[in-house]
Structure 1
């Protein structure tokens, strides 16, 4: 994408229509990504883009688009460029301080709702809430629930609070590491999507993951198997669950058997794993007895 043309001895700005900007951007990045970037910069809808392709971008807008296209072409995730991502039909703010929500995590929400929807006022805690998408979505879907969200990163916690405000979700946020800020509190449900990628996993170099916070992707044990955080969560759950309360944990594509083993060792009943949208065992959990 060219930023300007020369004319009469001085730089003359060429105003570019949004339709032409879409075409130019599509030469460098995926056509859908290009379209979304144009709509974001021009503050227009897809319908506007189709109906009024001649609508001009200002010089500032065009320069901004050029910069964003270059960043996307270099592999930076689209969600960080747009500042938001969709989860469970709602749009959430994201930044490089938090992981980008994945559709597979919606399975964690579905399973949580199945277990809590018939309780009059369930108490739920979301450990390692990140951007807050799970906690906020649960509050939106189960308004009577008392939701607590725990997060170690203060930067991530700020994003989560903004998302709660954006969706008018009354969620209590606590700063700390897993169970540490909860004292002796107990809950009907514990949900968690912790870091579970093993150090050195080649997936960490793909699909924009180098741009995402590595501490939210990998466990803290050098050379570990990706289960360090899950061991802490499963091992501490009994002290924070009411009888018949549930623990649900999202994990890696090849970790279901190991997580079920941990749950059995800690004395959980009804231990099971559930598949994500791709047919992979993505969430495991059990009932405390």
Structure 2
């Protein structure tokens, strides 16, 4: 029987053609097959026998299925979210919005938070975990995503402070919020994407017209009427979209401040 260390090395070699992080992928799949954390695997279980189910997990990854869909979860900020087909996989780049919110509020905390396009609850639940007395509303057009969001809130012990509603961005919302978060679709319809994104993640969470700006044109004009005094909206953008999205914000009467991600790429705009 093959031991885990050898099986991981072989899987990593096979995954080189489908992943930029083949070794990491192999380790995560092995940890999932062993029902343990990656840290536990690396620190003490590399000499264990590889579980029989590991090979099937590798085959799924070779078919470009996202790691998060295979394992059923993804870490984000200080929380871990359940994810699966039909929801956008949380990206580390999106943590830029939470970092910007923390910088904005400093020693204060927002009372009411709105997450537009919440997906599996990614930004809202991360914010509620950051600020233990805040309450929030997550809106999404996808019933599948909202089901994940509600289950994530339950699992994280945040259900009492998180509400979720099916909706078209902020249509019909009259309340005002201290913090608005949004990660809308912003990929142009003609842009090339990796197969694991293109073939598996929901198109409606990815694409927004030819230039990737359609969602901003609907969403941003709604923001001024939703912000409480002293409030801020943080909107994720594509790395080449700072100028056109800033122009949309300025036409809506708002100023915009750019925040960059850890790779120094434009990633979020703070609007107020």
TM-score (normalizing by structure 1): 0.83
Deviation at 1:230, TM superposition (A): 0.8
1:214-229 equivalence runs, <5 A: 214-219=203-208, 221=209, 224-229=210-215
Deviation at 1:188, TM superposition (A): 1.9
Secondary structure of 1:180 counterpart: coil
CA distance in 2, matches of 1:50, 1:285: 41
Secondary structure of 2:199 counterpart: helix
Secondary structure of 1:282 counterpart: strand
| 8 Å Cα contact 2:110/2:179 also seen in 1 | no
Aligned to 2:19: none
Secondary structure of 1:199 counterpart: coil
Question: Looking at CA atoms only, which structure, 1 or 2, has the larger radius of gyration?
Answer: 1
Alignment partner of 1:199 is 2:195: no
| 8 Å Cα contact 2:78/2:129 also seen in 1 | no
| 8 Å Cα contact 1:131/1:157 also seen in 2 | yes
Deviation at 1:106, TM superposition (A): 0.7
1:120-159 equivalence runs, <5 A: 122-159=111-148
C-alpha offsets along residues 97-151 of structure 1, whole Å, 9 cap, x if unaligned?
A: 1111111111101122333455565211000000111100100111121211101
Change in CA separation of 1:119 and 1:27 when aligned onto 2, cut-off 3 Å? closer
| 8 Å Cα contact 1:139/1:147 also seen in 2 | yes
**RMSD, aligned CA:** 2.1
5+ residue gaps, structure 1: 1-14
CA distance in 2, matches of 1:87, 1:55: 29
CA distance in 2, matches of 1:56, 1:125: 47
Secondary structure of 2:85 counterpart: coil
1:171 to 158, 162, 165: 162
1:56 to 49, 60, 77: 49
Change in CA separation of 1:44 and 1:266 when aligned onto 2, cut-off 3 Å? closer
1:75 to 64, 79, 90: 64
Between Structure 1 and Structure 2, how many residues are aligned? 263
CA distance in 2, matches of 1:52, 1:260: 50
TM-score (normalizing by structure 2): 0.88
Secondary structure of 1:96 counterpart: coil
Aligned to 1:236: 222
1:1-289 equivalence runs, <5 A: 15-29=1-15, 30-45=22-37, 46-48=39-41, 51-57=44-50, 61-62=51-52, 64-116=53-105, 118-119=107-108, 122-169=111-158, 170-182=161-173, 184-202=174-192, 204-206=193-195, 208-219=197-208, 221=209, 224-269=210-255, 271-287=256-272
Deviation at 1:208, TM superposition (A): 3.6
